[in-house]
Structure 1
Amino acid sequence: MRDVPVRPGSYWMEYGDDTARPRPPDGLDVDVAVIGAGIAGICTAWELARAGRTVALLEAHRVAAGVTGHTTAKLSALHGNVYQRLRSTRGAQGAALYARSQQDAIGHVVAVCQELGIDCDLERFPAFTYAETAKEAHTVEAEAEAAREAGLPASYVKETGLPFPVAGAVRVEDQALFHPRKYLYALVADLERRGGQVFEGTRIVGLREGEPCRLTTEDGRTVSARDVVVATHYPVFDRSLLFARLKPHRELVVAGVIPAGQDPLGMYLTPEGTTRSVRTAPYGEGQRLLIVTGEKFTPGAGRVGERYERLETWTTQRFPDVRLTHRWAAQDNEPTDGVPFVGALHPRARHSFVAAGFNSWGMASGVMSGKLLAARITGEKLPWTDLYDPVRLKPLKEAPSLMRFQAAAAGHFVGDRLPFVTGGGRASAIPPGGGAVLRSGARHVAVHRDEAGELHALSARCTHLGCLVRFNDAERTWECPCHGSRFGTGGEVLQGPAVHPLERVHDIEEDDDA
């Protein structure tokens, strides 16, 4: 396998500032505490500050540096073949409300950019869901009809701006592309001008609901708030069993420079295979940055390097003049019925809220979540509030996905512990840069060998619910296949729902079984 000739790291992450934001003072008291400074958390905090609330935005790492910093940044209401599914599971009215809410979010970004004078490379383009095979073209044609019935400006076409033929495509007009961190940094700056407080390096590990609610950080500080919003991508506090209704997946991204004249002038997605998504962004005079996403897989599925190569090969075959420059990965969660969970954290919650399950469409859905949650907290109700309510549970509609999600998680929880899964080999067989789960007596140990040859050993039990982690060979991380938690090779939490690091193990030897 040849190396992908690109530097690892998200293109979006190259933009930012060096502002050092502190941890909160112990005993901080605000109207609303928002946990998570991705697009959903930032938009929620900003909307509430604009409504006159005192707000604390609490981020475990850095602002807009998690999933939001690794997106493909499409602002679109066309989400694959979602409208056929919604028409079946939520009815024609539900599909129409979904379309309205997503279109409203796009319009809101445009309006906010004008209001605050934000230069975030905002561009308006059509969005396409396309098929390359005649069989899939029938599905795409049906999606065009469903999207049109839901109120989108959708049509079925057989010609696109792609440099290869398609069998058919849904086309929805006047969608948008933008630079997410340029937009969100501007919102954070305005949030702080309005008196909002932003804290980084602040992992929240405890939530006591009440009046007020009380949050606890990993270093023992407390924050009190009348209302709390959990916007941590995958909920770190799960009191409505959302972990059973969300399935994590990762997707890879490669990006490279193409001549501006080869821009396909739109955003494209095919659900065929392991998906392919195409868009471009401004990149200097006479050039565009081509961004291609695909190779969807469950965290911990392995052979990530091979998946990158497949995505690179597809990109260079379809766009022969591309000069690849970047690669990165994104993660999201699929909800059981295809609709994000935005609203009350659990059935009895009065002052705790959640936003989760954006299923690879987090830009428009994150903006939508900010408006919806701010409205709920300030006593308003948007037309689509009930559509997204996490408390909803429609057993007949959700049962097939619910059973599929939990069967997969149970398979990992039980099957990964069988001897033949982790046996066969020794720590001495792990190459520099590699990792494996070893059996050391009755326990499972996650062992990584760094480039200098030193072994680093951790408990292989995810600190969320105890599933066994697996090694990602391309990103050199430990990943939980059950609920998507990710850890560095030193055990540190990179991505929740886990909030505690993997425990270090100190007695692994070269001849331990692997």
Structure 2
Amino acid sequence: MPNNSSLPQFPEPIWRADAGLPSFDTLTEDQTVDVAIIGGGITGITTAYLLSRSGHKVALIDAGNIINGTTGHTTAKITAQHDLIYDELIQHIGEVRAKQYYQSNTEAIRFIQNIINENNTDCDFKNEDAYLYATTKASKQKLQKEYDAYRKLGIDGDLVDQIPFDIPVESALVMKNQAQFHPLRYLLPLTEKIKANGGQIFENTTAVDVETGTKPTVVTRNGFKINCNHVVIASHFPFFEGKGFYFARMYAERSYAIAIKSEKPYPGGMYLSVDQPKRSLRTTTFNGEEYILVGGENHKTGHGINTIKHYEALQDWAQITLGIREYPFRWSTQDLTTIDKIPYIGKIRSKYDNIFIATGFKKWGMTTSAIAAQLITDLITKGLSPYADLYTPSRFYTDPSLKNLVVQNADVAGHFVAGKVGLAHRKLKEMANDEGAVVKVNGKRAGAYKDKNGCLHLVDTTCTHMGCETEWNSGDRTWDCPCHGSRFAIDGTVVEGPAEKPLKKVSLED
């Protein structure tokens, strides 16, 4: 393998390397607006764009920097082909709702293309066919059932015998005329439009609570308030749940991606394997040259092997399948999946008419964000949406929702117990620089990270959400909770919720 194909030392998505991202001020005084939007990813920005365009005064805030969460770490496929989903939807919610799901995602593709055309945006938008491919007899049968579902729902798709790669496949299912783009280049012009429409954007401004009422108020960590008529929570995991118990109705998965220059030419199209381990393929352009994005290796957050091994597995597969000439980028992301695999979009609870939520997009945030922005904008401006019932967070389909709810929460309970009785497996004196591990400090479980200069960072590994024990993520240098997906930096600060408070710091002198 060429020397320049070795694993990049630090994770960085290809999208952020050349986007020229702006910066925005931190909120330093109280604000009064029509709509407060929490979360500066594609959902929050698109919602702010639509509402500001319709004449609403909006304030968009993000706990860190905009477009730096899941949106900045996506593979950015714009498609209604959401893995094997339509046969399952027909079985569990019926053909009418399954067709609505397809129609809403197909309309989302057109919505994105219309925004690009209206704003003359240069974001490498390109129509591509999307493929699911099977490498086993069992998954071939699943593809046949999915194809049958396509025909029932009127989806433009075909079963084919092969794909243009050196991969032995049993069959593949193609969905025609899907798309891909550069997500950050798509969103940056929208931030300019928001400001031009009188909207405000604040970074490094963390929302910690919502005071409910006829006119709700968003409370920030530094004590300032945003008074408004409506709140839109687009913060990936909702920082405010309104007793909707979303932590028990979703689970978090991590997945991985690398961007390479390949030795073999890329034949076009977007690809996703049906079998495990998952493999995803698409192209993008960086500095005028073509790169291939290779993704996959998904697992529940805080579970599984040393996370560096997932990057290495993608690298090995890419070398065999495509050949690697250069390997400059790697990154991971976290996705939330609902218990029935349909996102939660709409009123956070039926009792709240002015607090809206968008979460649980699984791995398909590009189309789902467009659905969410339009649906929530319609509810705020018109009081109704054609897709409100399908995506309402208040729904509960007994099958498979009840079964999945039991399975997921049994899994949480198992990890809670395992974390408490598990033994620390490293000693501080054995740790190398740039290494993290669970250790014992003063007889108690702690998390240790020794940075490149040998400086030691110690935290209590107990997650501040519900008390599970976090595990070290070597690929991203974070402490990840296997119960509900919270993630923390080496100093204990929250990277991703549902946790709101940082991990406690630990001292050797305690």
Percent identical: 32
Relative distance call for 1:213 and 1:114 in structure 2 (3 A) is same
- CA shift, 1:132, in A, is 1.4
* Other structure's SS at 1:416 match: helix
Look up the match of 2:84.
81
Look up the match of 1:126.
129
- CA shift, 1:443, in A, is 4.4
Gaps of 5+ in 2: none
Separation (CA, whole Å) in 1 of partners of 2:115 and 2:221: 35
Q: Is 1:191–2:194 an aligned residue pair?
A: yes
TM-score by length of 2: 0.95
Look up the match of 1:289.
291
Separation (CA, whole Å) in 2 of partners of 1:275 and 1:252: 10
Look up the match of 1:227.
230
Separation (CA, whole Å) in 2 of partners of 1:188 and 1:482: 35
Q: Deviations over 1:485-512 (max 9, x none)?
A: 1111111222222222212112369xxx
- CA shift, 1:63, in A, is 1.1
8 Å CA contact 1:468–1:480 kept in 2: the answer is: yes
Q: Deviations over 1:219-242 (max 9, x none)?
A: 111111111011111111122111
* Other structure's SS at 1:333 match: strand
* Other structure's SS at 2:219 match: strand
8 Å CA contact 2:32–2:226 kept in 1: the answer is: yes
Q: Is 1:449–2:450 an aligned residue pair?
A: yes
Separation (CA, whole Å) in 2 of partners of 1:265 and 1:322: 19
The letter for the 1-side match of 2:260 is: G
The letter for the 1-side match of 2:293 is: I
Aligned length: 505
Q: Deviations over 1:128-186 (max 9, x none)?
A: 11111222111112112212322321111113233434211111111000000001111
- CA shift, 1:19, in A, is 3.1
- Name whichever of 193-202 and 375-384 sits farther off: 375-384
Look up the match of 1:257.
261
8 Å CA contact 2:427–2:440 kept in 1: the answer is: no
The letter for the 1-side match of 2:301 is: P
- CA shift, 1:441, in A, is 5.5
8 Å CA contact 1:163–1:264 kept in 2: the answer is: no
8 Å CA contact 1:4–1:309 kept in 2: the answer is: no
8 Å CA contact 1:485–1:494 kept in 2: the answer is: yes
- Name whichever of 200-209 and 147-156 sits farther off: 147-156
Separation (CA, whole Å) in 2 of partners of 1:327 and 1:423: 29
Separation (CA, whole Å) in 2 of partners of 1:492 and 1:323: 34
Relative distance call for 1:324 and 1:440 in structure 2 (3 A) is closer
- CA shift, 1:284, in A, is 5.2
* Other structure's SS at 2:373 match: helix
Q: Deviations over 1:172-204 (max 9, x none)?
A: 111000000001111111111111110000011
* Other structure's SS at 2:24 match: coil
- CA shift, 1:26, in A, is 2.4
Q: Is 1:245–2:249 an aligned residue pair?
A: yes
Separation (CA, whole Å) in 2 of partners of 1:116 and 1:18: 18
8 Å CA contact 1:467–1:482 kept in 2: the answer is: yes
Alignment of 1:378-389 (within 5 A): 378-389=381-392
Separation (CA, whole Å) in 2 of partners of 1:392 and 1:343: 11
The letter for the 2-side match of 1:273 is: Q
- CA shift, 1:98, in A, is 0.4
8 Å CA contact 1:275–1:295 kept in 2: the answer is: yes
TM-score by length of 1: 0.94
Separation (CA, whole Å) in 1 of partners of 2:328 and 2:278: 21
- CA shift, 1:339, in A, is 0.3
Q: What is the CA RMSD across the aligned residues, in angstroms? A: 1.9
Separation (CA, whole Å) in 2 of partners of 1:316 and 1:242: 40
Gaps of 5+ in 1: 510-514
Look up the match of 2:19.
16
Q: Is 1:422–2:416 an aligned residue pair?
A: no
Alignment of 1:112-123 (within 5 A): 112-123=115-126
The letter for the 1-side match of 2:367 is: A
